[in-house]
Structure 1
Amino acid sequence: MTRASSTQGRGLLYRLYSSRLRREIDAGTVPHHVAMMIDGNRRWARQLGYTTVSHGHRAGAAKMHEFLRWCDELGIQVVSLYLLSTDNLVKRDSQELTDLIEIIADLAETLSHEPGWRVKHVGRAEVLPPVLAHGLRTAEERTRENTGLHVNLAVGYGGRGEIVDAVRSIISKHQEKGGSLEELAESLTPEQIGEHLYTGGQPDPDLVIRTSGEQRLSDFLLWQSAHSEFYFVEALGPDLREVDFLRAIRDFGDRDRRFGS
């Protein structure tokens, strides 16, 4: 596990350093799937003296759009963004949650107009406010035939809940075929569960990045990240820079992945 600093800078030295980082990244080691846990939006807003934390969430959403472009330019094929957990739906202040719903709906709408990008909602649509569920569904339908960058928006998402939903789906389909629970218990495999997750059919994330210096998973992609590499960045979400991202990709390429061995 690695932590990175968040020193700001956009001048000549920054551009030279960014170019050097790009040269140091081997295209053959770029991760196929990157998962991003953007954290620190509220702290960012409070540190800058904003009256509401929604300013931080809007800045974080704008940063995630920028982050997706960095990923696309580098040839990453799948990106999963953790935007709103099921816990957030009950623990966040009502006004903050109202603002978040609008911000996420706006982000989904914006991303659905990026040429070639495919947007997919991962999470429980039934627990979301109708306006947000509709916005995510519209973005997904609009981009369904696209074959470019695949963007998973984890909204109303919880990793343990996802596993429960996958098992329920397996049981339901098995019973529809007339099978018994005993037969299912004998034949159940990790591959079956993987196929019934919200991300079924997608590769598991190679790299999970989290901002703000926090080092925890927070119920994100628990099953899928069993063999993922992790990279923790000190920068608060809205302050994430491209060089922070490039360092994460370079670091990933230098690791000896053991896949649990």
Structure 2
Amino acid sequence: MAVPAHVAIIMDGNGRWAASRGLPRVAGHREGARAVRRAVEAAIRSGVSWLTIYAFSSENWRRPLGEVLDLTGLLRRYLRTEIAELKANGVRLRFIGDRTRFDRDIQGDLAAAEHDTQRNIRLNLTIALSYGGRAEIAAAARAVVAAALAGQLDPAKLCEEVFEGFLATAGTPDPDLIIRTSGEQRLSNFLLWQSAYAELVFLDVLWPDFNETHFAAALSTYAARERRFGARTG
């Protein structure tokens, strides 16, 4: 079975999972953090080399203050309790998004996690935090303009490959497969440039219930598809 080199996941359904059980939303986010561990373990066992998860979008800052504090608190806990195990399992961590919006202690933890796992090669795990695809593309465009004004880039030589070097995901292959849970069928501003030719799989399972069986099912769906990258066949 063909295994995608890079899988990206839009983790959706934490709030609905909690509501269906009469629990506060933070309970869904806590269980969702456990599902992240299951996804990482499934990716490693499946031979996936790159895994990107959409943990906190730039739009999430608009949620009620209490929920934002719950989410950032869970992020703190994750960074301080999971990194040692990720490092031991050969996982290299990388974060994309506007980390300046987080408190300084979290920014420090993010940098430390990247530094402490930088030599790992078993799985490249990218976590999108305070991330938005449109904002990423706009930031890359600003960087291109700055490089051109500084004489470091000839605008006439700007191509897709050069532009990709200005994105937050520079050095990361485009996702082969994007999974979204909860039954919703949209990208929600996630990896808009990078998803141009990704296969999309939408699962009718809430993220806190996501497990290795669901991961395997998505990989099986991917393996059954014919990837054409815009070329005609037949």
TM range (shorter): over 0.9
Preserved contact between residue 120 and residue 152 of structure 1 (Cα < 8 Å): yes
Preserved contact between residue 38 and residue 211 of structure 2 (Cα < 8 Å): no
1:75-154 matches, within 5 Å, as 75-89=47-61, 91-113=62-84, 114=86, 115=88, 116-154=90-128
Taking the aligned partners of 2:218 and 2:107, their CA distance within structure 1 comes to 32
Q: Work out which of the two has the higher radius of gyration on C-alpha atoms and give 1 or 2.
A: 1
Letter in 2 for 1:78: W
Q: Give the secondary structure class of the aligned counterpart of 2:184.
A: coil
Alignment of 1:239 onto 2:209: yes
Letter in 2 for 1:105: R
Taking the aligned partners of 1:74 and 1:146, their CA distance within structure 2 comes to 17
Using a 3 Å threshold, how does the CA distance of structure 1 residues 137 and 178 change in structure 2: closer, same or farther? Answer: closer
Taking the aligned partners of 1:215 and 1:98, their CA distance within structure 2 comes to 28
Preserved contact between residue 144 and residue 163 of structure 2 (Cα < 8 Å): yes
In the superposition, the TM-score normalised over structure 1's length comes to: 0.84
Taking the aligned partners of 1:117 and 1:193, their CA distance within structure 2 comes to 28
Q: Deviations over 1:142-176 (max 9, x none)?
A: 11122221110100100001011111122222322
Alignment-derived partner of residue 5 in structure 2: 32
Taking the aligned partners of 1:198 and 1:210, their CA distance within structure 2 comes to 21
Taking the aligned partners of 2:229 and 2:43, their CA distance within structure 1 comes to 23
Q: Give the secondary structure class of the aligned counterpart of 1:165.
A: helix
Alignment of 1:62 onto 2:62: no
In the superposition, the TM-score normalised over structure 2's length comes to: 0.93
Q: Give the secondary structure class of the aligned counterpart of 1:119.
A: strand
Unaligned runs of 5+ in 2: none
Preserved contact between residue 125 and residue 156 of structure 1 (Cα < 8 Å): yes
Letter in 2 for 1:206: D
Number of residue-to-residue matches in the alignment: 228
Q: Give the secondary structure class of the aligned counterpart of 1:82.
A: strand
In the TM superposition, residue 178 of structure 1 has moved relative to its aligned partner by 6.2
Alignment-derived partner of residue 150 in structure 2: 176
Unaligned runs of 5+ in 1: 1-25
Letter in 2 for 1:76: V
Q: Give the secondary structure class of the aligned counterpart of 1:45.
A: helix
RMSD (Å) for aligned C-alpha atoms: 1.4
